[in-house]
A and B are shown apart, each in its own frame.
Chain A
């Protein structure tokens, strides 16, 4: 017989999926079941939520639990296993229930993670061991809390510690009483300065994020009211006139995207907020969702109004427990107030939002991977074309936008396209969020107008901590690139970036002072891409591994041929990944390393330049 679920697993899954329809879909066998079976309705898109439920209830995904989910959805067990093993937060082997994920990614690396990890290794044993069998710890890629490094994510209790104190963590992993008393600084320091000119951050720190009344009292839902007044075409026109470009990294014109979706004859159409913010060094969307969750709900509702969609999804990364809770509250609040549902705002259109959590996969931030993940498949990217505007989620027209982009829509409607387009430069309109981390005095999310220089961005965050000289700045995230201290006057606009061969990416500005070991940073970036490559296409699967290997050979002085040969090899690998990878992960996986080599001369000397 096949492995059966425990009562607890069964209950956890039923909580997500409802009770079984019949004996053929996991329920009790009845006399009718002996004579009739009906197809279990296809609900594969609920696979990820069901796996989350199993993981949370038992601390791992057992064969019996997986079988039960497969029976219920239904999904072939081999495919469900393929999905379960795709995500870092899921384990298909029994493991301690409490898993502490300790970020050792680049921002935390220069923000105390090494000391934290040393303390854990000393006090609780090496990564993956469990002193009592109840708890363990693992290194983790960026957890998106870079402004409060170092960071630890407690998976089972669904809580983030930032900054994570080492002593109580050691106690926790040893299964001894631990108390955490963390002093949390503001994640958006500008809001502490009494500024009234902020657009995207204006409610943060000021308006209760759990109260719809408070949100409405601060001009909340006025943008939706205006959108309803303008009508779908009017909204698209306004967005087009505002020249709003996507903030997720591709800088695609929003008006074009929404218009294309709205004009598809096919229904249903979907709108999605891409909140799978996983680019190392990026945390702006998290701060917005934690502190101003209604804004995202309202903005997605406007997207639905503009594109004629009745169903929206917010796909949020699994390591964002507070943002998840806040959004759940905001969605429920909006629903209760008639701002979601069958008759949104009494305007006669239907729209609702499903909040879905990712489970630890950087690749799922790529829009087509995100679709696959939502559909209950492995989060592997699809070939484009066809593009999401015609064949997106479930193969239907889909408008998928980054959180920051959507929040900008509110501003466009609030102040009007004309005024909005006066912010920034003619070709890079509007405000922009930057994620300041690393060696800056006041890390956090900052809002600036497009056109500000990098130096001004850094200065606005209090400059370099201890006023040390800057060695390098990582701009745009791990998929972005390094700029040197001689390049700090570059302007933060789309057009300058294009012309200058750099990228704003997701707004990451990670500052490294002169004491930073950039070799170590580059190795971590290379490891990140190797770990996060989904493995679907060869250039990326093989290229990310070869890149990391070559860097290690350079560091260890055990090169194949000369150092120049290794650099040539790295260049070739970079080119192949850029040219031939299916998605942006592979296409950008060599950017940071290549810029470090070419601009900063990292790895130039025998043991790397310290």
Chain B
């Protein structure tokens, strides 16, 4: 979100689902949406059926890649190299959108300079993808009438996550594939309301509606007036900052709502150690997570999906109503009730707060939500932000303003190109740790399994270390054999599974089964300073056969 917000001022995917079904070409980059974003992928499938060309960039040949017309198996962490190579190829063949670059962007010259070294041959040497295939994709993307780039954690779970996002945005600006129907730049969201969380101000430097907490004094004043409370004009901490602050002893009390950092953090042993050192840990959740087990106070919460009234906002920025179907069991309470009650005990009586009343307040303070009355959201089956007043239909795709070349006021700030330097993963491969471990998700499970482990699935298999057929042979492994996987930080044991979607040197694990295999013991806590996202996608590991007891047998 940081990358998009930096360039366009708003951290949202630019396109709607409908457009995904009507684009001519989609670059699915660092995303196994088939497994990780199955709802969005249904729209992609519609697109494929309508004749859209799907090109998948991913180190693994994933389930998503199997649906693609073309798959590019890049080396982990070489996304910037691929993007810069494509950019040069587009520019030297005069396929860039001169009119859009001229009228809607800034910084092209520096950008052009920065990518000129990236010949397709160099691109091949760095990414591993054959030069002619890079060329083919560059030309196809540039020439397509309606082309989208969609990405997820393969782009953002890197130490240079923001740069990765910026390099993809550069391609969109270069070709004019943004701000028109069917073209766009879209990070896919892993949950029904990740977008909503950001929109509502759950970002350290933004108030609800992406209003900057430090730079936008007027907005801050509006909130202070409405809330009758001062707001520090100072960015907060993101998650990684918080752990750093715990380490420094500056952060001693933490209130965790619906998160499970004791399982999900990179270098998880270290994270647990820090959580244990807190003076106060409060966890508000539906289930007894690993983090909740460590808490001083656990506040049992209701389920936001069907025991609560409110809204969620999906990947296409559509605010939708959530309705209560069941009363929560036992003493579990609605999140809103818990927070309001806490406020009351802390001396601020907000009266009776409901989903509707909270929303009504939000739309008086967030201009991009101003036109979304509770009734209109119901009536229209959801509304896509921005929606500035009650006659506004909502916005199908973002940044059409950039095309208003002749009306500077309408156009607003032009979109800047970003010079992005290729920077390989922090955890280097060497003779001791020769294998590149990347992590990801499976269709039947979600993240650390808190929400999915309780359900059975015919697709469910336990954690494995997925290995290419070539490495299985080279390392003398058997399928199902339990091996030790070690990184510079720790070791875990997991059974081997052969996966032809992997190439030699690349191995894969999920993070779904922390109780069985604590994958994040291996991962590196190399974090992007701008987004706070850790480099889950690139770990150097080694696989060792377990010692067979000497003189075993009868």
Contact = CB atoms under 8 A, between A and B. Distances in A.
A32 B65 CA distance: 15
Nearest to A40: B66
Choose among A29, A32, A37 the residue with the greatest number of B CB atoms under 10 Å from its CB.
Answer: A37
Interface in A1-58: 1, 24, 29, 32, 34-39
Contact of B72 (A1, A35, A39): A35
B498 A37 contact: no
A1 B73 contact: no
Contacts of A32: 130
A37 B479 contact: no
The majority secondary structure among interface residues of chain B is loop
A26 to B, nearest CB: 11
B29 to A, nearest CB: 15
B70 A37 contact: yes
Interface in B281-313: none
B196 interface: no
Nearest to B129: A35
**Interface size bracket, A side:** 10 to 19
A1 B71 contact: no
Contacts of B72: 35-36
B479 to A, nearest CB: 7
Interface string B465-488: 000011000000001000000000
A37 B130 contact: no
B479 A36 contact: no
Contacts of B61: 24, 37
B85 to A, nearest CB: 14
A435 B128 CA distance: 68
Contact of A35 (B68, B469, B503): B503
B129 A36 contact: yes
B423 interface: no
B381 interface: no
Interface in A186-219: none
Interface string B74-103: 000000000000000000000000000000
Contacts of A1: 479, 498
B407 to A, nearest CB: 43
A492 B68 CA distance: 58
A29 B473 CA distance: 14
A36 B503 contact: no
Contacts of B73: 34-37
B70 A29 contact: no
A39 B65 CA distance: 9
Contacts of A35: 72-73, 128-130, 133, 503
Given A1-B479, A29-B469, A36 B498 contact: no
A119 to B, nearest CB: 48
B69 interface: yes
A35 B75 CA distance: 9
Contacts of B258: none
Nearest to A24: B61
A37 B71 contact: yes
B504 interface: yes
29 contacts: A1-B479, A1-B498, A24-B61, A29-B469, A29-B470, A32-B130, A34-B128, A34-B503, A34-B504, A35-B72, A35-B128, A35-B129, A35-B130, A35-B133, A35-B503, A36-B70, A36-B71, A36-B73, A36-B130, A36-B133, A37-B65, A37-B68, A37-B70, A37-B71, A37-B73, A38-B69, A38-B70, A38-B71, A39-B70
The 6 closest A-B pairs by CB, nearest first: A34-B503, A37-B71, A35-B73, A39-B69, A36-B133, A35-B129
Given A35-B73, A35-B133, A37-B70, 16 more contacts: A1-B479, A29-B469, A29-B470, A29-B500, A34-B128, A35-B128, A35-B130, A36-B72, A37-B65, A37-B68, A37-B71, A38-B69, A38-B70, A38-B71, A39-B69, A39-B70
